[in-house]
Amino acid sequence: MGPTSKTTLTVLTISILSRIANCGPRRPPPPELYHEQWRPQYHFTAPKNFMNDPCGLIAYDGIYHLFYGYDPAGKGPTLYSSWGHAVSTDLLHWEIWPLAIPEQAGILAFSGSAVMDFQNTTGFSTDRATAMVIIFTGQVATFIESDQRLAYSLDGGITWTLYDKNPVLRTGKSHFRDPKVMWHKPSDRWLMVVAQAMGQRAVQFYSSPDLKNWTYLSQKGPEGLIFNKEWETPNFVELKVQGENISKWVLPSMTGAYSRPRRTVMYWTGEFDGKKFTADQTKAKILDFGPDFTAIQTWTNYMDDRVLITGWMCVWESCRSHPTRPWQGAQSLTRVLSLEREKGELLLVQKPIKEVEKLRTGVVWEFNNTTIASINDTLLSKKVKGRLLEIIVQLKPKPKTQKVGFKLMVGEREHTVVGYNHIKRHVFIDRSKSGHITKNMGVFYDANVTLQAGSLKLHMFLDWSSVELFANDGRQVITTLIFPKSKTSDGLRAFCEGDDVEVASMTVYQLKTTWDKYWTGNRKSKTPSSKVTDSTLLAKVKAKFASRRFFRFDCSFLCGVHSVVGIVGSLQTHVILLVCTCYAFLILLIFKILERIPVAAILRRHVKIGVTQK
């Protein structure tokens, strides 16, 4: 058999094997980005890979900067932990920017915070830009030590420079992390709360004049509300008590690994004298009664007077087993915090930001002065359904009412229940029949409530894989993830056990996606799209700082001229006459020198040469 025959036989063999391989069932192509089943449509998620804690949340100059723990390599959340970066003008539509702080040389970038250094205490700022400074935990990949480090940006957060004398604070211990930094005006210093997360379990307080040199002040811990062996992501904020002429400091902190019955966010209210926090109560209160609101961070907000908070809508024990691909982890809706009294106790209240009203489409179902039974009949007859919904209901139970509520994402064999148990006086979310229940996922979560003048208000937000419940205007909140098995599970039902309830009002809004660029032009999509607010923020910020550089050059020239004029104007008259005389003498000398040079001959010679060359 010659070489040609061998080649022909090889080609035929490969062709036959290829056809046999293609005879089997073909895998369907992966869904388009942000079209995947369970992909949140108005919550922030990274396009791919693992995302965890919100970090460095800062609002400045019209832009909200969301940094987040991120695995850019897709190898594992604790192998290449870095800071991702997204920006928005409304906390809903997000534009993803370049990685802010990457893992470098085995130093992982763990959680932290961001501030604007208006007084240039660090020396990082210039005459054209105020430094945006990040304070983050540098975690040695072997977990033998953690420390606090700085990075800064002079172009609006686009590029970042690591401080060349990092770290700025170290104790030699591991799990010393998650710094939250703010300017404390009474002491005229920077204030840091940071967790000694494991072992000692405490929230420690430090102060600094320049973000570089830190002094230990005090610590709070380790008592709490539930059994735990880890404290994480502390925050610290001063809030006015609604309806009262006083303020209180609030210290939230997340319980971490080995917490029982689960991880949660606890908080204390109290007093702070510039060095030490004194809690009003020994036991903490719970901020969110669901399993999927963790690793919280308050925003450093330079744009308005709201105290904003965002949490990681996931939990370590179950997040890696969730059926979401190519992404894992989401951020909650941003919420507004306030302090209010209920039965004499201070409660940290959470309300959804006003901006969420922009998500509402023109599709609205309204009910007034009716009953749950009547509402359910209407929901069935009008085929009210949806996977993106906002539901607001004001109801009044009767003495013999037992349970009342709603079934969301209803399918043939699955649904999620949001309701109120009048006997036990608690609101609840039951996801036992919601679809996929992965490892370590609980199924039932509840919170005690107090009826307000005999009535209860429920405010629900439903996304493709989450439910956020705000009861009684945010006095009690429950956040859970759900994973319906079928995309057609989109029904909405109402139910009541015992005596029916009076429903003063109920409104159901259909919501729209905020990931417009991934849906625009997709005719097959039934998900309504909202208008893009800013798809080129990066270009706008680059242009702004480029114009500042030009303006700086122009101003420098004008300032130079102004300085010369000023110097001349400040001289004495006789000095000015002397300078003018010297200039006049110099000009005469130049003319005398020119007279000695045969200029005319030189010109005639050049003209002659030019003619000759032609």
pLDDT band at 221 (very low <50, low <70, confident <90, very high): confident
What average pLDDT does range 510-533 have in this prediction? 66
pLDDT for 584 equals 66
pLDDT band at 140 (very low <50, low <70, confident <90, very high): confident
Question: Rounded CA gap, 254 and 292, in Å?
Answer: 12
What average pLDDT does range 415-419 have in this prediction? 98
- Please tell me which residue, 591 or 590, carries the higher pLDDT value: 590
What average pLDDT does range 40-54 have in this prediction? 96
For 55, 315, 365, 538, the CA distances from 330, given in Å and listed in that order, are 13, 10, 29, 23
pLDDT for 261 equals 76
* Percentage of residues of the chain with pLDDT beyond 90: 69
Catalytic residues: 53
Q: Mind listing the pLDDT tens digit for each residue in 70-100? A: 999 988 777 789 999 999 999 999 999 999 9
Average pLDDT of the chain is 86
Residue 369 contacts by C-beta under 8 Å, 6 or more apart in sequence? Answer: 502, 503, 504, 505
pTM of the model: 0.84
**What's 143's DSSP letter?**
S
pLDDT for 600 equals 46
pLDDT for 230 equals 82
Residue 197 contacts by C-beta under 8 Å, 6 or more apart in sequence? Answer: 175, 176, 177, 178, 230, 231, 232, 256
Question: Rounded CA gap, 248 and 238, in Å?
Answer: 6
pLDDT over threshold 90, residue 52: yes
pLDDT band at 595 (very low <50, low <70, confident <90, very high): low
pLDDT over threshold 80, residue 29: no
- Here the tokens at position 199 are 């072992």
pLDDT for 319 equals 85
What average pLDDT does range 377-399 have in this prediction? 97
What average pLDDT does range 146-173 have in this prediction? 97
Question: Rounded CA gap, 203 and 207, in Å?
Answer: 14
Contact assessment for residue 113 and residue 135, using Cβ atoms and an 8 Å cutoff: yes
pLDDT for 523 equals 44
pLDDT band at 296 (very low <50, low <70, confident <90, very high): very high
